[in-house]
């Protein structure tokens, strides 16, 4: 939370520290961080937001914004789209906040809205290679990635890093991606995901397994491609030396 | 158990503790061992990805603008009751009204302060510093003297010097309260009425607003202290200017929302 630049022993250091500390950033105090009541609970903030209180809107935004933004970012893979989607999700949330009765957790409600906004956007983009329906439909015999049972595989252990994992997540079909990000990255339980995605717990489990299996294939492809590139580069280098 | 049966177990049970049959199969099947190890390494790698990412501030600014445009933010609007002319006149004289006006004037003073500061920082080479154009905007803009506000010390020697006709730039400059002091003065006047106000009809919000004001005041005091020691520090001067401006904004917002208890 605190990105302080401190020059010890100087007043100016203290000035800079105040200016760059997010909680009491005077540099942003009046415009970007309007006063927030410290002691609000989420329920109080929701009640006030339902009455149109601007500070309550911001309180809820600050409370959940980082998770929602991470979800959007992971789902679309680029910050500009993620910002747009996050704004859209919160806008929809605030438009409908008057109808929130607390039947499900507020965060679940918000995430459901976010997922819907993201999937709607992805559906509009309609990438020809990824069929959204394929991944959102309940399990069928032919859906999902396949594993050649018993066939020799390229082992991933030790080869999975953040970069190639993120790249592979982006290649997942949207439905798989959503469940994988919610469960394995954001730590939601299957019952919560089922609530967010409006599907059964079994379906959530199945989608997650398929997502992981598909990711494994994608990562194997990544690793093979990398190895191929390295070989090609080595060959070119040895050719130029000859 | 076959490999496809293990896959079914993994699908329905996840990667947690496996049933005995599945473990027995795994013990004798290297392909399934590798498969399970790969899935575990994917899950482990996924846990290293951040679950939260701080969004840029511009999203909230833009979102708030849209909320306001759509009328979703409903700030309480105070409807004034009809009153006679003398009541209107006395209302105008209420400290809150004066304070609001002062906050506006403080903004004006700050603007002049910045203009002058930038002029002093980048003087036009070849031209003499114009003595007679040293303005005293804040002084002239203050409607009422502030008994609690800081007084600019004037030494008798300087007063005597000032009586001598002819241009004496440095002395005149010292005589007049600097624009930053004038801005500070004006803001202090505006601030006098804030403690008596019920600001947002919500004690927590009120407390928070006042806390912000306190933070700003501390910051301003720190900047001023630093500038006394290092008057040439442009960075500190810039911080001070920003803080004044924000304090004026904050006071104006507080007074606009506030209901005076006077």
CB contact under 8 A, B37 and A155: yes
Please tell me whether residues B110 and B207 are part of one structural domain: yes
Please tell me whether residues B101 and B30 are part of one structural domain: no
Helix (H) / strand (E) element for A71: namely helix A54-76
Output the CA torsion A96→A100→A105→A110 (10° steps).
0
Please tell me whether residues B138 and B252 are part of one structural domain: yes
For A39-125, CATH gives 1.10.1740.10
CB contact under 8 A, A205 and B11: yes
pTM higher than 0.80 for the full model?
no
What rounded mean pLDDT belongs to chain A? 76
Domain boundaries, chain A: 39-125, 134-143+155-236
* Surface-to-core class of residue B36, CB atoms within 10 Å of its CB (0-12 exposed, 13-18 middle, 19+ buried): middle
- When CB atoms are compared, the residue of B3, B73, B225 closest to A149 is B3
DSSP string, A117-144: HHHHHHHHH--TT--HHHHHSPP-TT-S
Please tell me whether residues B232 and B140 are part of one structural domain: yes
Closest CA to B257 of B209, B176, B200, B183: B200
Q: What is the DSSP secondary structure assignment for residue A21, as one 8-state letter?
A: B
State pLDDT tens for residues A28-42.
Answer: 333 344 444 456 889
The residue behind tokens 């409903």 is B74
Please tell me whether residues B121 and B224 are part of one structural domain: yes
Distance from CA of B153 to the nearest CA of A (A): 25
Q: What is the mean pLDDT of residues A159-169?
A: 85
pLDDT on residue A148: 53
Domain span at residue B40 reads 3-44
State pLDDT tens for residues A63-105.
Answer: 999 999 999 999 998 899 999 999 999 999 999 999 998 888 9
Helix (H) / strand (E) element for A70: namely helix A54-76
Max CA separation in chain B (angstroms): 109
- Interface confidence, given as ipTM, is 0.72
Q: Which residue in B39, B58, B70, B73 has the most chain A C-beta atoms within 10 A of its own C-beta, making it the best mutation to test that interface?
A: B73
Contact list in B for residue A15 (CB cut-off 8 A) is 219, 222-223, 226, 236, 239
**The two three-digit tokens of residue B196, written as one number:** 């008596």
Contact list in B for residue A153 (CB cut-off 8 A) is 31, 34-35, 38
State pLDDT tens for residues A165-189.
Answer: 998 999 999 999 999 999 999 999 9
Contact list in A for residue B48 (CB cut-off 8 A) is 162
Number of domains into which chain B is organized? 2
CB contact under 8 A, A157 and B38: yes
For A134-143+155-236, CATH gives 1.10.10.10
Please tell me whether residues B23 and B116 are part of one structural domain: no
Distance from CA of A125 to the nearest CA of B (A): 23
């Amino acid at each position: 939370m605190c990105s302080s630049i401190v020059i010890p022993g100087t007043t100016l250091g203290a000035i800079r520290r105040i200016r760059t500390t997010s909680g009491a950033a005077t540099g942003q105090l009046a415009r970007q961080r309007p006063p927030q009541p410290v002691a609000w609970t989420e329920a109080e903030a929701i009640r006030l937001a339902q009455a149109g209180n601007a500070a309550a809107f911001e309180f809820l935004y600050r409370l959940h914004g980082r998770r929602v933004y991470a979800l959007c970012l992971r789902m679309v893979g680029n910050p500009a789209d993620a910002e747009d989607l996050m704004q859209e999700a919160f806008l929809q949330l605030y438009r409908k906040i008057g109808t929130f009765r607390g039947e499900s957790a507020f965060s679940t409600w918000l995430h459901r809205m976010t997922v819907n906004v993201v999937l709607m956007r992805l559906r509009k983009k309609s990438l020809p290679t990824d069929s959204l329906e394929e991944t959102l439909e309940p399990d069928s015999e032919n859906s999902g990635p396949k594993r050649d049972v018993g066939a020799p595989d390229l082992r991933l252990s030790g080869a999975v890093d953040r970069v190639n994992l993120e790249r592979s997540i982006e290649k997942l079909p949207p439905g798989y991606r959503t469940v994988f990000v919610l469960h394995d990255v954001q730590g939601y339980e299957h019952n919560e995901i089922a609530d967010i995605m409006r599907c059964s717990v079994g379906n959530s489990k199945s989608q997650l397994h398929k997502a992981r299996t598909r990711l494994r294939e994608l990562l194997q492809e990544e690793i093979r491609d990398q190895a191929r590139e390295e070989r090609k580069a080595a060959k070119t280098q040895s050719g130029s030396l000859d | 158990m076959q490999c496809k049966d293990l896959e079914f177990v993994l699908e329905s049970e996840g990667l947690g503790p496996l049933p005995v049959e599945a473990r027995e199969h795994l013990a004798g099947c290297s392909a399934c061992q590798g498969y399970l190890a790969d899935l575990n390494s994917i899950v482990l790698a996924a846990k290293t990805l951040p679950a939260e990412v701080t969004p840029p501030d511009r999203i909230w600014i833009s979102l708030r603008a849209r909320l306001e445009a759509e009328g979703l933010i409903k700030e309480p609007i105070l409807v004034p009751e009809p009153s006679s002319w003398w009541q209107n006149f006395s209302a105008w004289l209420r400290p809150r009204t004066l304070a609001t006006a002062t906050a506006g004037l403080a903004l004006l003073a700050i603007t002049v302060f910045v203009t002058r500061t930038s002029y002093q920082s980048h003087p036009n080479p070849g031209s003499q510093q114009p003595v007679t154009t040293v303005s005293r905007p804040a002084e002239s803009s203050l409607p009422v003297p502030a008994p609690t506000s800081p007084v600019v010390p004037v030494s008798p020697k300087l007063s005597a010097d000032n009586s001598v006709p002819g241009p004496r730039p440095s002395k005149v400059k010292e005589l007049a309260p600097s624009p930053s002091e004038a801005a500070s003065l004006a803001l202090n006047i505006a601030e006098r009425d804030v403690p008596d106000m019920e600001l947002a009809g919500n004690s927590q919000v009120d407390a928070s607003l006042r806390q912000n004001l306190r933070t700003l005041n501390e910051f301003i005091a720190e900047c001023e202290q630093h500038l006394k020691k290092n008057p040439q520090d442009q960075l500190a001067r810039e911080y001070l200017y920003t803080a004044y401006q924000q304090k004026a904004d904050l006071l104006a917002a507080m007074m606009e929302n506030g209901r005076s208890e006077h």
